[in-house]
Amino acid sequence: MNMIYGKGASGGIAAGVLKIIRRERTEIREETYTDVTSETAKLHAALAKAEDELVQLYAEAVEKVGEKEAAIFEIHRMMLSDEDFVAEAENFIRNGHSSAETAVRKAGNALAEIFGAMEDEYMKARAADISAVAERVADILGGCENVIRLTQPSVIAAADLTPAETVMLDRKMVLGFVTEGGSPMSHTAILARTMDIPAIVGAGAIPDHCDGCPVVLDGNEGVLYVEPDEHTESRYAEAMREAEDERKRLERFRGKTCVLSDGTRVMVTANVGSLSDIDEAMRGDAEGIGLFRSEFLFMGRNSPPTEEEQFEIYKQAALKTGGRECVIRTLDAGADKQIGYLTGGAKEANPALGLRAVRLCLAKPELLKVQFRALYRASLFGNLSAMIPLIVLPEEIREVRAIAKAAQDSLVSETAAFGRMKVGIMIETPSAAILADRLAPMTDFFSIGTNDLIQYTLAADRENPSVSYLSRSLPESVRRLIRTVCSSARREGIPVSLCGELAADVRETKFLIDSGVTKLSVSPPSVLRVRESVMREASRLVPVR
């Protein structure tokens, strides 16, 4: 038995045959090209194709891993237009007479070296992103694809995996992966955790003779056992049995409902980004859809979806939830979700505080009116609700309500059939939380988005690990805001849901219920685990009904 040590990047255990992936990477050649104009044109054509790929990849990643983790592909897309990167590549073509492929590799290496030399681990990890972007553009120029294909379920090994390669992995075929390089803070590692793929990074050279050998991968400890002995196999088989026992334990909570001693029902619903996610949520026993991200309809295309296109999707969403509530979040574009034909590629000093979400929709009211028309029509087929993101002031609700009324009036004038629909708002900013007593009478429900609420309350970028210590535990400031929101909702008699990552944190389940949250919306795989937490940790719950 051989043991290869790395760093655990994604917990879990995988056992199977090792498949080593060796890519044929073109070495940087010092060839000379005299047709500078032609090579420069090839460079920009490849950049454009890479951008198109990333737009599509972002849309697919939203479906697989959610918008937060999919944001890396928006970052990669922005890197493609980075002036330093493009100018450096053009300079290698113009002054070094390099081919476009060689120039882009040189430019990527130069920038990656700058980041790799930094002391901050987060910034070091960004070197891998720069390399991934440059390699993909170079691969396009060289006619190479970036999809890993397997013929049998395997544990895969590679020098490294790009975020694009990771998100496109077939989960049925990839049992786990180990990379020779990489960092636990890389986006590849983050995606592995989100996709629940056991993974090890930074394992160093993996000998070719290991290809095809039986292995056990321990993503918790960061150890790969090649041709494990009987004791090791037995030990890990027991660990995998324990994991299966946990799965069976959680299955006991399928079909159960949670009711507080005062008769209040506490529901566990799901966050989804596509119709296929709804199928997964229903299989996972979600009690409805607490957040359906509608922006995926607007991505990977050159113009907004028509009313009919939206109507068909919302209709299917209503039918798939089978009478359970399905809450559709209206278009939440801008910031980390740039949609070129809507946002115009405008550069904002701080996109998170700029023209995004409801602000973008109010700046383009016809966009929101069309979405409301489609939603009202689709609500005939099920229990649909609309949820407006990033409300900060009462005036915004009034404007949204006016657009919703205009949508209804236009349908009436056309004698088009439509149903009733609740319209709620997301509480994602301290402003909205503080004004909750004024907002509550104007809306049908609150949904607390804690990802943004924590970020805006602490003035700390949630993607920046240098300030992550500020939110390792739920700050008292955010706790107070949540209590304020729930108190205002209770006085007005409207429900409060919570759809941020905090909803799946079982350490905080009791606090949320005690505060007055009556719906926790989580990723589909987390539904049963959170329901178990609600039923076991909330002391006021009566026996299961």
The percent of residues in the chain predicted with pLDDT above 90, rounded, is 54
| Residue bearing the bigger pLDDT, 274 or 323 | 323
Tokens representing residue 215 in the block: 């292995």
Computed from CA positions of residues 75, 77, 79, 83, in that sequence, does the dihedral angle turn out positive or negative? negative
Is there a contact between 162 and 135 (Cβ–Cβ < 8 Å)? yes
Q: Which of 27-36, 145-154, 167-176 has the lowest mean pLDDT?
A: 27-36
Q: What is the pLDDT of residue 337?
A: 66
Average pLDDT for 327-342: 82
Is there a contact between 473 and 523 (Cβ–Cβ < 8 Å)? no
3-class SS at 197? coil
Could you list the active site residues? Answer: 187, 499
529 pLDDT band, cuts 50/70/90, is very high
Strand partners, 327: 385
Q: Tell me which amino acid residue 405 is.
A: K
Residues 456-505: tens digit of each pLDDT: 999 988 667 678 788 778 999 999 999 999 999 999 999 999 998 899 99
| DSSP state letter for 493 | T
Average pLDDT for 43-66: 86
Q: Which helix (H) or strand (E) holds 20?
A: strand 13-21
Q: What is the pLDDT of residue 119?
A: 61
What CATH number does domain 263-535 carry, 3.30.2390.10, 3.20.20.60, 3.50.30.60, 3.30.460.80? Answer: 3.20.20.60
Other Cβ atoms within 10 Å of 484 Cβ, number: 18
Residues 108-150: tens digit of each pLDDT: 888 888 877 766 565 666 787 888 889 889 889 888 776 778 8
538 pLDDT band, cuts 50/70/90, is low
Architecture of domain 2-22+147-249: 3-Layer(bba) Sandwich (3.50)
Computed from CA positions of residues 311, 313, 319, 324, in that sequence, does the dihedral angle turn out positive or negative? negative
Domain ranges of the chain: 2-22+147-249, 36-142, 263-535
Q: What is the pLDDT of residue 34?
A: 65
Query: Could you tell me the CA-to-CA distances from 60 to 65, 137, 164 in Å, in that order?
Result: 9, 20, 10
41 pLDDT band, cuts 50/70/90, is very high
Q: Is pLDDT at 541 greater than 50 in this prediction?
A: no
Is there a contact between 498 and 520 (Cβ–Cβ < 8 Å)? yes
Enter the CATH code of domain 36-142: 1.10.274.10
Q: Which of 115-124, 250-259, 302-311, 457-466 has the lowest mean pLDDT?
A: 115-124
Mean pLDDT over the full length of the chain: 88
Distance CA 74, CA 84 (A): 18
The torsion region of residue 284 among left (phi > 0), alpha (psi -120 to 50) and beta comes to alpha
Q: What is the dihedral of CA 430, 434, 439, 440, to 10 degrees?
A: 110
Is there a contact between 269 and 290 (Cβ–Cβ < 8 Å)? yes
Tokens representing residue 284 in the block: 């996972």
Closest Cα partner for 508 from 359, 253, 181, 500? 500
28 pLDDT band, cuts 50/70/90, is low
Residues 400-447: tens digit of each pLDDT: 999 999 999 999 999 999 999 999 999 999 999 999 999 999 999 999
Q: Is pLDDT at 295 greater than 50 in this prediction?
A: yes
Q: What is the pLDDT of residue 27?
A: 55
Q: What is the pLDDT of residue 115?
A: 76
Residues 312-321: tens digit of each pLDDT: 999 999 999 9
Starting at the earlier edge strand, list the strands of the sheet with 223-226.
Answer: 2-5, 223-226, 214-218, 13-21, 154-158, 174-179, 199-201, 7-10
Which spans in 382-505 are helix H?
394-413, 430-434, 436-439, 450-458, 476-492
